[in-house]
Structure 1
Amino acid sequence: MDGESRDQLAAISALSQALDNAGVDHWLFGGWAVDFWVGEWTRRHDDVDVAAWRRDFARVKAALEAAGWRHTPMPDDVIGTRYVFGSVLVEFTFVESGHAGEVVVPLPDQPVVWSTEPLGDVRREFGAVSARVIPLDVLRAGKAVAREDASDAAKDRADAAVLERVEE
């Protein structure tokens, strides 16, 4: 694992601690969630992807800023926002609960169902760091859908292959 990845892992620890202490539900997804499910570093990551409930936006902001994070929103933020801890970028996606209890990404034109099941409270360990992660089946389903960007699609294929060896 390189220095940048160690910094990201330390940031995940700090983020998890701050949000856990504030009682804010949150979940790692993306590449770092793969690493937490596998229990080892599988590849370099550009950022850390985290989901939280949209209703907790203010609580996320208060908890992270109190812990030394900088809120660095983009002008075109629609479903999420960004925070920086040192040199580590964390991208938040804020989700909502649908009418039937499904987890929905509230895109402006058409909300997208991310999971028909609750995201739960699954915790995984990576070294000495404990973090909440999205359920394995939700992670696998997300990695199985090809994204348009060739680089993103290649990462997803690699992640999907790594996840094949994980048992719940």
Structure 2
Amino acid sequence: MIDELSRRQLRIIGEITDVAAANGVDVWLRGGWAMDFFLGELTRPHVDVDWFCWAADADRLASALHDRGFVDDPRVPPELQRDLVKDGVEVSFALLARDARDRVVVGAAGRWAGSPYPEGMLDGPVGRLGDVSCRTICPRSQIELKEMYPVWMPERPRRAKDRDDITRLKAALVTAPGPAG
């Protein structure tokens, strides 16, 4: 049975996907929801909904979402990440850019600015949960990111949910037909 917060988050995912498409903005679901969309099932409750978008599109996307009732979350400076809230659902957009070698890199200010993301990260599948579908980052990149968080941020040890997510994704990739990104 899906809880009320998950139901609202799923509705918000659909809304963001529609708003982004209507405004010509590319977005990719990341984190726990990306895993669920790849697997095609809700595996656990989620605190928030994580996305990637191009830094150059972030203001335009935020403006379009403001028009739909989203408000800025003031806890994170917008030059680091675009965080918004609607109906008690927190969404965050990590910012992307391309470097001189055309690699996808961290497009936000801060100590990681310009750091490359895993190659092929944006080549993930369109995932589906119920009647909502959206682009996700590739599962192999999702695994790499979850494995690297404690290395990049030693103050944040690996969480049990991340270990479980990594295990689920690796198992799904072993049984998936053909390349799964």
- Fold shared by both chains (TM-score > 0.5): yes
Is residue 120 of structure 2 the alignment partner of residue 117 of structure 1? yes
Gaps of 5+ in 1: none
Q: Where has structure 1 moved over 6 Å in runs of 4 or more? A: none
1:95–1:146 CA distance, 2 compared to 1 (3 A): closer
On the 8 A contact 2:58/2:82 being kept in 1, the answer is no
Which has the larger strand fraction? 1
Aligned-pair CA distance for 1:76? 4.1
Aligned-pair CA distance for 1:145? 2.3
Q: For residues 38-78 of structure 1, what are the alpha-carbon distances to aligned partners after superposition, in whole Å with 9 as ceiling and x for unaligned?
A: 11111111100011000012211122112221122335454
Distance in 2, matches of 1:14 and 1:121, equals 20
Distance in 2, matches of 1:7 and 1:126, equals 13
Gaps of 5+ in 2: none
Is residue 159 of structure 2 the alignment partner of residue 159 of structure 1? no
Distance in 1, matches of 2:89 and 2:36, equals 17
Partner SS state of residue 64, structure 1: helix
Distance in 1, matches of 2:29 and 2:135, equals 6
Higher RCO, 1 or 2 (CA under 8 Å, sep at least 6)? Answer: 1
Give the AA of the match of 2:48.
D
Structure 2 equivalent of residue 30 of structure 1: 31
Aligned-pair CA distance for 1:164? 1.8
Aligned-residue RMSD, C-alpha:
1.9
On the 8 A contact 2:121/2:141 being kept in 1, the answer is no
TM-score (norm 2): 0.83
Partner SS state of residue 27, structure 1: strand
TM-score (norm 1): 0.89
Aligned length: 167
Give the AA of the match of 1:113.
P
Structure 1 equivalent of residue 56 of structure 2: 55
Aligned-pair CA distance for 1:97? 0.8
